[in-house]
Structure 1
Amino acid sequence: MPERRLTLTNDLGLHARAAAQVVQCAARFKSQIIIRREDRNADADARSILDILYLAADKGKEVLIVAEGEDADQALVEIESLFTNGFGEI
């Protein structure tokens, strides 16, 4: 099961607009994608904006993205790109 550990670099972290981008990206894949905030022992379904917002992941927080399924590797590449580019905010 592929995974990526990513740090939020945009000023507002996983706020509503950033979370919506993750949901839109995740919806394009068949794989199950989970965003895990290990310091809070909290998981979010990447297709649920409410789950993602519940993580309360601010700038500088680290999250683990885990994907399982036939297109898991490509899903991780595209979600990682969102994080790396600061959701278009930096």
Structure 2
Amino acid sequence: MHERRTTIGSRVGLHARPAATFARAAAEAGIPVTIAAGDRGPVPAASMLSVMTLGVEFGQEVVLAAEGPGAEEALEALVLLLESDLDAH
């Protein structure tokens, strides 16, 4: 299992549009990815609704985890996405 910690860069956190953008990217990774925040999660990162229920805010740390071929690369791409302002996309 591979894990990566990162901080949310979207000013509005992972709500609505940023959550949808992130969940879509996680689904396209081709392997199961989870996201956890504080004592909440892990939840499937490919589920926009699950991601939104975490209530992740700007500057909050999250933990991504994945296993399988290409897991490290997938997590790296998702980390870069989360560190950006997804609401600006």
Q: Paired residue for 2:20?
A: 20
Shift of 1:88: 5.6
Q: Paired residue for 2:45?
A: 46
Mark the runs of 5 or more structure 2 residues left unpaired by the alignment.
none
When the two chains are superposed, the root-mean-square deviation of aligned CA atoms in Å is 1.7
User: What is the 5 A alignment of 1:1-90?
Assistant: 1-37=1-37, 39-87=38-86, 89=88
Percent identical across equivalent pairs? 33
2:8–2:84 contact (8 Å) kept in structure 1 = no
1:82–1:88 contact (8 Å) kept in structure 2 = no
Shift of 1:78: 1.2
Mark the runs of 5 or more structure 1 residues left unpaired by the alignment.
none
- Equivalent residue pairs, number: 89
1:31–1:72 contact (8 Å) kept in structure 2 = yes
Runs of 4+ with deviation above 3 angstroms: none
